[in-house]
Amino acid sequence: MTRRMSLDVQDACYQEVFAEWLEETGGTAALWKRTAPVLLTTPPPMSSASRTSLPDQQEVEAAVRTLLRWTGDDPDREGLRDTPGRVARAYREFFAGYQENALQVLGTTFDEAGDYDDMVVVRNIRFESHCEHHMVPIVGMAHIAYWPDKRVVGLSKLARVVDIFARRLQIQERLTSQIADIATALQPRGAAVVLEAEHLCMTSRGVYKPGSTTVTQRLLGVFETDALKRQEFLATLYSTRTTGAIHGR
Ligand SMILES: [Zn+2]
């Protein structure tokens, strides 16, 4: 198997990222193939070209003023005067994930797994994202498992990865896939991701179904092929938590 492969990738940004990834992690072509399709449909980390074409603060504030007028309110009244600036700053925070690279988070700090040979499960990683259809919040919990082969990663790194992908415009299915696929950078025997989330576009508008949550999962490697390990993972998830976990009940 060749370490290097010619990448049929349009986006120069990704070519660069994956070249680095192959270099740093010793990633294999097989893993690349597994991981690439989903990552390539991801809005990429911002390239320097798109960064220079970003609207400036003034344009953003003008857009928010337009939205304020759209509500029927007066953007010049005292309570709203500073709102456009605040909204611009809030958006910076909500969508900071476009400027971060999740592969680098997992790709730099590996430790030896030693003789540990079992799954590692991190449960209840709270995340906040925004749906790409309405730009309203998706709030939920991520649960991540991987079965290390040679490498383990600091657990906080997994939470960082969740945040990086969550802080972009998303649909829950893609967010789930991205987290699971990026975990293959650890070259594990398997990776599994379950997300349970409330979509405010569904609970506070539209069909108005408060309390409804959506569960998505992606199982790779041993979690996909080995029914027993899959069951063990799901049992670990549901053993001590209730469906109200995302509301902290
Ligand atoms: Zn939506």
User: How high is the pLDDT of residue 35?
Assistant: 57
- Adjacent-strand bridge partners of 215: 196
DSSP 40: H
Segment 192-205 mean pLDDT: 93
Helix (H, G, I), strand (E, B) or coil at 230: helix
Task: Please give the angle made by the CA atoms of 126, 128 and 130, to the nearest 5 degrees.
Answer: 155
Instruction: Please give the CATH number for the structural domain made up of 48-94.
Output: 1.10.286.10
Q: Which of 133, 173, 231, 247 is catalytic?
A: 133
CA distances in angstroms from 135 to 94, 132, 138, 150, 244, listed in the order given: 10, 5, 9, 40, 24
DSSP run (H or E) holding 121 = strand 120-131
Segment 6-19 mean pLDDT: 48
Confidence of residue 106 (pLDDT cuts 50, 70, 90): confident
Q: Which amino acid is at 27?
A: G
Ligand 1 (single-atom ion) residues, CB below 5 Å: 131, 133-134, 201
User: Which comes out higher in pLDDT, residue 29 or 75?
Assistant: 75
Report the alpha-carbon distance of residue 71 to residue 64 in Å, rounded: 11
Helix (H, G, I), strand (E, B) or coil at 234: helix
Show me where the domains of the chain are located.
Answer: 48-94, 112-247
Distance 203 CA to ligand 1 centre (A): 10
Instruction: Please give the CATH number for the structural domain made up of 112-247.
Output: 3.30.1130.10
Q: Could you confirm whether 231 is annotated as catalytic?
A: no
Residue 187 has pLDDT above 50, yes or no: yes
